[in-house]
């Protein structure tokens, strides 16, 4: 009998995300008999996920086996693939802290999970837990592939590569394929008629090409259409999923840079110093910037989950739609050798020659039986490299703080953040970081903790 893969899901209490990934996995013949090991520290969420996974198996008539674990090490035994999805500290208290403390200084944010003071703190909370997974993987399943779906993606990927260079890892996001869908919708062109190539860092990759296949087999550049549509007021079209989040920031930056960025306008507004400014409500209104957006989403998701959890418990079968996540495609390609191409976050290793060799780059990757193989991009256009470097600076200093356990580098990272530096002076930045470290005391490594009202030396 052919051996079936074992897929371990760390943070399986993220039930909706688990459902999407496992639903994709079970629809692939090569993976439908897999052992699915679900692990979470929250018994109630783990039980809810076990119910959902069991009903996915039943709905699809799959031969998969569902196992649950509270022990990470036990869950990892024999794993071929390890999917990670968790949020250390949750919405309360940690996300609330990341928004409310900076707000006292007049520093407003939209998502705060990738860069800025919110992203720095989230990385500080998250990386030690990812390192513990890597430590266990090296001891128990060193050949398994780590599929990491945790923010801040670039900081996490960079930190894993620095401390555990032998771990086979990829950071996965849906921004490249998701944005391509949005642009196709604006242009009213079927997505399968569009060819694109993107590269950069997570949440700040750019479409280097975005083209429409013509009847004669040639390709036409779509950037002039996108610029014209924005200047004519036809693009962006009203959001199809969140009316609070129009897409104006990215279109405006397209007209300045010549390229479209792959992560949302609400994210991009806080990665740059141009859009969120204290005392400039005109900018917020002009570009439709949704301040405090992530806390609003968290509250909505928590409320929505209450209804979903009850519905899942009572349902005999669960409706399954294919998601746009890359996880099942990667697993299928590695397991069968059938090649695929995904966009992954990996150690740069000079794939993008204009960015640091050790940073985390987001590039197209070939996947087959040999694993995940990043493709060569070369140098990015200089204006894109320059903007990306402003974000890489923050990531690099946050990783340096984690690797050397030097708390001062957390302050240095905040100093270099484009949005923070545009709003606050040095004394404010130092005081804000100290306040955040004190507020997050129970969630961060011991070397980073400070007592309330104590400034760093």
CA distances to 60, 218, 410 from 207, in Å: 37, 19, 31
Among residues 129, 174, 412, 440, the one annotated as catalytic is 174
- 203 annotated as ligand-binding: yes
- 173 annotated as ligand-binding: yes
CA distances to 81, 147, 327 from 25, in Å: 12, 13, 8
Query: Are 97 and 109 in contact, with CB atoms under 8 Å apart?
Result: no
| 174 tagged catalytic | yes
- 151 annotated as ligand-binding: yes
Task: Summarize the annotated binding site as residue ranges.
Answer: 151, 173, 203
Residue ranges at the known binding site for Mn(2+) = 173, 203
Q: Which residues are catalytic?
A: 174
């Amino acid at each position: 009998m052919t051996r079936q893969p074992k897929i371990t899901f760390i943070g399986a209490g993220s039930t909706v995300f688990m459902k999407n990934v496992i639903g994709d996995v079970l629809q692939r013949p090569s993976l439908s008999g897999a052992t699915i090991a679900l692990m979470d520290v929250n018994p109630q969420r783990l039980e809810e996920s076990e119910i959902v996974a069991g009903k996915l198996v039943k709905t699809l008539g799959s031969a998969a086996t569902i196992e649950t674990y509270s022990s990470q090490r036990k869950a990892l035994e024999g794993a071929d693939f390890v999917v990670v999805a968790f949020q250390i500290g949750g919405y309360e208290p940690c996300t609330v802290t990341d928004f409310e403390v900076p707000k006292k200084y007049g520093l407003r944010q939209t998502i705060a999970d990738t860069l800025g003071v919110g992203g720095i703190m989230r990385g500080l909370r998250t990386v030690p837990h990812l390192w513990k997974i890597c430590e266990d993987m090296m001891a128990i399943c060193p050949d398994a592939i780590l599929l990491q779906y945790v923010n801040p993606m670039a900081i996490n990927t960079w930190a894993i590569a620095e401390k555990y260079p032998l771990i086979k890892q990829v950071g996965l996001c849906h921004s490249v394929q998701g944005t391509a869908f949005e642009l196709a919708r604006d242009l009213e062109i079927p997505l399968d008629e569009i060819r694109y190539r993107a590269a950069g860092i997570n949440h700040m990759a750019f479409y280097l090409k975005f083209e429409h296949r013509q009847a004669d087999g040639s390709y036409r550049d779509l950037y002039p259409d996108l610029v014209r549509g924005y200047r004519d007021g036809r693009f962006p079209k009203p959001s199809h999923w969140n009316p609070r989040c129009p897409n104006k920031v990215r279109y405006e930056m397209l007209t300045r840079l010549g390229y479209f960025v792959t992560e949302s306008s609400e994210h991009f507004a806080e990665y740059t110093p141009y859009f969120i400014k204290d005392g400039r409500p005109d900018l917020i209104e002009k570009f439709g910037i949704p301040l405090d957006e992530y806390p609003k989403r968290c509250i909505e998701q928590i409320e929505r989950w209450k209804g979903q959890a009850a519905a899942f418990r009572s349902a005999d079968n669960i409706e399954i739609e294919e998601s746009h996540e890359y996880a099942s495609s990667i697993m299928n390609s590695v397991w069968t050798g059938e090649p695929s191409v995904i966009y992954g976050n990996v150690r740069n290793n000079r794939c993008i020659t204009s960015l640091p060799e050790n940073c985390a780059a987001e590039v197209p990757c070939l996947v087959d039986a040999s694993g995940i193989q990043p493709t060569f991009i070369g140098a990015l256009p200089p204006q894109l490299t320059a903007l990306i470097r402003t974000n890489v600076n923050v990531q690099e200093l946050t990783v340096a703080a984690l690797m050397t356990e030097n708390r001062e580098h957390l302050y240095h990272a905040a100093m270099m953040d484009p949005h923070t530096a545009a709003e606050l002076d040095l004394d404010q930045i130092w005081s804000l970081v100290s306040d955040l470290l004190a507020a997050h005391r129970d969630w961060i490594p011991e070397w980073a903790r400070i007592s309330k009202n104590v400034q760093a030396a």
